[in-house]
Structure 1
Amino acid sequence: MIQVRRSNERGQAHHGWLNSNHTFSFAEYYDEKNMGFSVLRVINEDRIEGGTGFDTHGHRDMEIISYVIEGALEHKDSMGNSTIIKPGEVQRMSAGTGVRHSEYNHLHDQTTHFLQIWIQPQEKSLAPGYEQKTFFGSDLSCSDLVLVASKNGRNGSITINQDVDMYAAKAQDAGEKLLKTYQHRHLWVQVIKGDVQVEGETLQAGDGAGITGVERLKFQWSEGAEFILFDLP
């Protein structure tokens, strides 16, 4: 079974300095039919104007992942982390018992484009945590799915406090892959660039799709395609 969420069906928020598209209900956008998918609670595609951003604010009991597409995202938090996240990097912040942070466009003359992803943790009231890793070079340019986050941090991925595997593909060439999975698992595909075909559906930039009840999933993608796959409980 596949559930397609087209780009133009998403919620929108325009604040002048921020242009955001919400795959699931978020902030002032509410859609009772799209409250999340399995433990995947938020996928926001954000574009932040140069020199602007989110002032310091708080989170708790959520695994928050930032995936930068273009530009550079400046992050500071109450755990003492102060970093710049660039394309090819993945950041995970575990809010746990509570953390405060700010996010700004590090560049003053161009827009920063990124995905903000929230995943519900397996346990509440965990200690806050932070991890960031670069997947440049042969990793994301290999025209294949690359594991960038997992519960146990296997294959060099960042760790996440949930039974989730997050893959990213930034294909130089057109390609295809057959992914083996289990009928009880839930899969979500989020397309960033190019065309991706899955379960008979063609997905384009901004489109997402949830897939359930399959034991294998065949992907086909166009040259230059970029997308993320979540394997969820």
Structure 2
Amino acid sequence: MLDFRPFAALGTFANDWLDAHYHFSFADYFDPARVNHGVLRVWNDDTIQPHTGFSPHGHRDMEIITYVRSGAVTHEDSLGNRGRTEAGQVQVMSAGTGIRHAEYNLEDQPTTLFQIWILPRAQGLAPRWETRPFPRTHGRFEILASGWPEDRAPLINQDARVLGATLDRGESVRHTLGGRAAYVVAARGRVRVGDLVLGPRDGVAVTDEDDLELMAEEETEIVMVEMV
């Protein structure tokens, strides 16, 4: 089953430095039909203006993955970590027993990113942070973050994966879900998923599908979370 979530219908928030679109209920936006999709709790589509950002604030018991679409974000946290994550990289923060962090756009142009929150498989775990580049190969999914160490990707504390793919026009990729749930967003371009066509920043919640085939109608960048 495919549940289409068009970008134009997402929850929104805007102020002088942040333009946010919410695929799921978040902050003051609440839709009882869109609280989560399995263990996927948050998918925020954020544009952060230059020399602004999220000041220090706290989280606990959440896996937070940041996929930078353009620009860069600079991270600081209470564990002493500091790092810059730019387009083509992903950062993973396991909030665990508690962590305070800030995310700033110190660049001279806006930063666009997806902020993805996944519920952990257990509470009270040790907090951690990591950033890593990922290969921009065309025509296949790359694992950006995973709950399985053998995937050799940044680790999250859940039986889930975050995957990304870039497809040329007319190119397709098939992914076996075996009944696992998934959530797919077109970061850019247009991609056909079953009978649906996702435009830029549209999403689709997937349930009870064995195989998922995605075909690009133009050059397309896809991000997907799959979960047990």
In the TM superposition, residue 217 of structure 1 has moved relative to its aligned partner by 1.2
1:101 aligns with 2:101: yes
> 1:152-171 CA distances to partner (integer Å, 9 max, x unpaired)?
23343111100001110133
2:112 maps to: 113
* Letter paired with 1:12: T
2:203 alignment partner in structure 1 = 208
| Counterpart for residue 137 of structure 2 | 141
Partner residue of 1:168 out of 164, 170, 174:
164
Relative to the length of structure 2, the TM-score reads: 0.96
Contact 2:182-2:206 within 8 A present in 1 as well: yes
User: Any runs of at least 4 consecutive aligned residues in structure 1 with deviations exceeding 6 A, and if so which?
Assistant: none
Deviations, residues 64-99 of structure 1 (Å, cap 9, x unaligned): 000100001010000111000001111100001100
For the residues of structure 2 that align with 1:172 and 1:86, how far apart are their CA atoms? 22
| Aligned AA (1:182) | G
Check conservation: 1:196, 1:222, Cα contact below 8 A.
yes
Deviations 1:19-43 (A, max 9, x none): 0000000011111110010000001
SS of residue in 2 equivalent to 1:8: helix
Q: Secondary structure at the match of 1:19?
A: strand
Which has the higher mean CA deviation after the structures are superposed, 209-218 or 97-106? 209-218
User: Partner amino acid for 1:72?
Assistant: A
Instruction: Determine which of 165, 176, 180 is the counterpart of 1:180.
Output: 176
Structure 1 length normalisation: TM-score?
0.94
Q: Distance in 1 between matches of 2:74 and 2:130?
A: 14
Residues 149, 155 of structure 2: 8 Å contact kept: yes
Number of aligned residue pairs: give it: 228
Determine if the alignment matches structure 1 residue 43 to structure 2 residue 40. Answer: no
Structure 2 residue identity aligned to 1:63: E
Separation in structure 2 between the aligned mates of residue 219 and residue 154 of structure 1, nearest angstrom? 26
| Structure 2: runs of 5 or more not aligned | none
Deviation at 1:201, TM superposition (A): 0.5
Mapping of 1:1-233 within 5 angstroms? 1-107=1-107, 109-135=108-134, 139-183=135-179, 185-233=180-228
- The one-character-per-residue Cα deviations of 1:135-184 (angstroms, maximum 9, x if unpaired) are 1xxx223232111111123343111100001110133554112212212x
Question: CA 1:166/1:120 → structure 2, altered by over 3 Å: closer, same or farther?
Answer: same
C-alpha contact (below 8 Å) 2:184/2:222 kept by paired residues: yes
Q: In the TM superposition, what whole-angstrom CA distance separates every residue of 1:44-78 from its partner, at most 9, and x where no partner exists?
A: 01001100001000000000000100001010000
RMSD: 1.2
- Change in Cα spacing, 1:196 to 1:55, as seen in structure 2 (3 Å) is same
SS in 1 for 2:8: helix
The answer to whether the 8 Å contact 1:141/1:172 transfers is: no
Percent sequence identity is 37
| Gap regions ≥5 residues in structure 1 | none
